Chains A and B, each alone.
Chain A
């Protein structure tokens, strides 16, 4: 007993050191990329590059990665969560609204917090949760029943729990919140249920609502004229992916989802602002500074819910603050993030819903005749899967779905609170009638739909031209995000359950592990005691790799 206690002493000393650092201040998040041992926000840093300065794992030794630990979850369905790692503790969510504190060196669990969403919660596409935000010693989680919960990171007990949206009108939260200064910012899902989307900010200490920006302008507000009649009241425009923040400009950026009803644009004439747009909001007041709409009057469910990636680059001889964006609608965009000015737009997959973009970046829409396929299909040329930008290679990396099309049908639909509000349907184009096709998530170990209905690709784009520098094709499509590192490694996964390490400069496959379950999140990296770890979720397992001792 005595011996054990003595052995424990140095450990206790370590713990008290960690305690001193256990506070995630706003300043610390601002400098997140300077502490690559941690993973402080959903996207790793406010600029959302998902680029880590860690370089212990290199192209030369990546083959020596081995599994250090696994954590299996006990719940059903896709596990889209992105963990945080702070001062020697990993925090992550699992379906539907559980939070766990985990030892990032062993995978053993310190505590589990469980919120059981109201049975009235409704989400279009599964009981997903993508992660947490942290400020001070408090974790923040949005829930399927549209609540925001503050949790004590030491004990896993709730500190406050507030309603963000009305569950009976099918408001929900699946995204990880974003902390800016002393506020917690969060958006709502429900674009398939005729909600009126918004982003709200809450006081991190009290949970009191500080501001709310509606993504559909009300009467008298600019942009309201892009809706007719009462359509604005249930026009969707959800925000279900975490935004980014530029501290110099003091602006937050959010991708806004589809207008509703999804597939019947005739029923909601007008551009339907700010659906399918990026909005730049003042973090203190929620005031809109600028917007850029990718897909006006969308009839294809092309949510602009991609992570806004902020990069400072030379652009035509001038240093500029850019925003890089591969959109679900099949075009890659470069915007000036000070003003929202459109700088470049190029299709990265086959596109036939538009013949191109005009000089302001507005699509020249070419709706296809009834019964004919539209490229890209309903899940898009890409979707919410977090991309990455490496300042070393100056390439933008993302998961794309190639050769994938759907046939849309539209119909009038009446809005009923809390009920699906879709306005039609769609079929994925398949080579044979009734053949299996791809949808939301992989459903089993046999790929009987094959690449004849679409294939996945990691695309490395040169943002200056919008052209692919290289492509890494996969037989099945991928919903995996991307991680790049300072050793020019790129980590990603896919539905097939492979975890790949590529050379970020060339796209060459350097190493792979067959983990067996679909990877529907973006890998992260961190260090504990000076050792670099890489964590990825495959199927029902969180798998953490490190170099062989």
Chain B
């Protein structure tokens, strides 16, 4: 099992090595821009005060995904400050009486999608990025956007809403190292001799759900499976060496523009 921290460090080195000094681009957010310093304050505070219940990815309380900005109801920044300060007693969330700078930092960290490194990612032009995506990048060979393209790889129609700039950049440079375990390509041979190749969507003790060749959603009982293989490496090639730093920046911009419909 690879480890969180050492990997993060080595990837950052790779990113800076490739793209040179980070451009000073503010983190993307709905209606606010936050400084890296604010976000870092919030990040430290989050891991100490909030992660116990909300989880490191902010998604461990049902109906709430802090990283993606999903709450049980719409919250303005001020309302978010209010919730942090007063808590949600019915749900067992205590109030946190924080100094204003820390409260701002926490809101900044949440609004920046937990992306401390986000301000360091170079973001180009989305229109140019689409040309790269559909052209030299070769992305449409596997990815689908807004109902067009194959389902071999994850559908990217809302990837800009669920991934932060730095995560997108990392995924382009190191597809294997960033492939979420659930997305691993899968090969199954059933007891009756059928071979199913596809991508894993969900799994539990007794069953597995895949999207298989031919865009078929298939759910199998493990009791009926003879062979089960998950790939450790991503079939996606790295863009490193294939695309220029500028092209990668455009691609990131295009991916960020995909926010669902």
Contacts and interface: CB of A to CB of B under 8 A. Distances in A.
Interface stretch (A176-184, A324-332, A425-433, A521-529): A425-433
B4 A427 contact: yes
Interface stretch (B34-42, B88-96, B187-195, B245-253): B88-96
B53 A446 contact: no
A124 B180 CA distance: 29
Interface stretch (B17-25, B76-84, B125-133, B198-206): B198-206
Contact of A440 (B48, B53, B57, B180): B53
Nearest to B166: A434
B49 interface: yes
B244 interface: no
A150 B160 CA distance: 54
A39 to B, nearest CB: 26
Contacts, number: 155
A429 B3 contact: yes
A277 B30 CA distance: 49
Interface stretch (A100-108, A244-252, A416-424): A416-424
Interface stretch (B6-14, B102-110, B136-144): B6-14
Interface stretch (B59-67, B145-153, B211-219): B59-67
B260 interface: no
Given A76-B91, A96-B92, A126-B91, A422 B202 contact: no
B87 interface: yes
B3 A432 contact: no
Contacts of B56: 427-428, 437, 439
A192 B61 contact: no
B178 A432 contact: yes
Given A77-B62, A435-B180, A443-B60, A123 B48 contact: no
B178 A437 contact: no
Contact of B182 (A422, A425, A434, A447): A447
B197 interface: no
Contacts of A121: 89, 94
Interface of A is mostly: loop
B51 interface: yes
Interface in A112-150: 117-119, 121-128, 144
**For this complex, into which size category does the number of interface residues on chain A fall?**
35 or more
B62 A443 contact: yes
Interface in B193-247: 201-206
Contacts of A192: 52
Contact of A450 (B2, B87, B203): B203
Interface in A310-344: none
Contacts of B49: 420, 422
Nearest to B48: A425
A475 B200 CA distance: 14
A436 B1 contact: no
B205 A496 contact: yes
Interface residues of B, number: 47
Given A407-B5, A425-B51, A123 B180 contact: no
Interface string A377-411: 00000000000000000000000000101010101
Given A371-B5, A439-B55, A440-B60, A126 B92 contact: yes
B97 interface: yes
B47 A126 contact: no
A431 B1 contact: yes
Given A425-B47, A441-B60, A447-B204, A127 B182 contact: no
Contacts of A96: 89-90, 92
Contact of B92 (A118, A127, A405, A474): A127
Contacts of A122: 87, 94-95
B177 interface: yes
A439 B58 CA distance: 10
A512 B222 CA distance: 14
B202 to A, nearest CB: 5
B3 to A, nearest CB: 6
A436 B114 CA distance: 13
Interface in A437-469: 437, 439-441, 443-452
B48 A424 contact: yes
A44 interface: no
B52 A474 contact: no
B92 A128 contact: yes
A77 B3 contact: no
Contact of B52 (A144, A419, A440): A440
B135 interface: no
Nearest to A437: B56
Given A77-B62, A144-B92, A448-B181, 17 more contacts: A96-B89, A123-B94, A420-B94, A420-B96, A422-B48, A427-B47, A429-B4, A432-B178, A433-B170, A434-B167, A441-B62, A443-B55, A443-B60, A444-B62, A448-B180, A450-B182, A473-B205
Question: Lowest 10 A-B CB distances belong to which pairs?
Answer: A122-B94, A127-B92, A425-B47, A439-B55, A439-B60, A450-B181, A448-B182, A126-B92, A452-B181, A496-B204
16 contacts: A76-B63, A95-B92, A118-B89, A121-B89, A125-B53, A126-B91, A170-B94, A425-B48, A429-B3, A435-B181, A439-B60, A441-B62, A448-B180, A448-B181, A448-B202, A496-B205
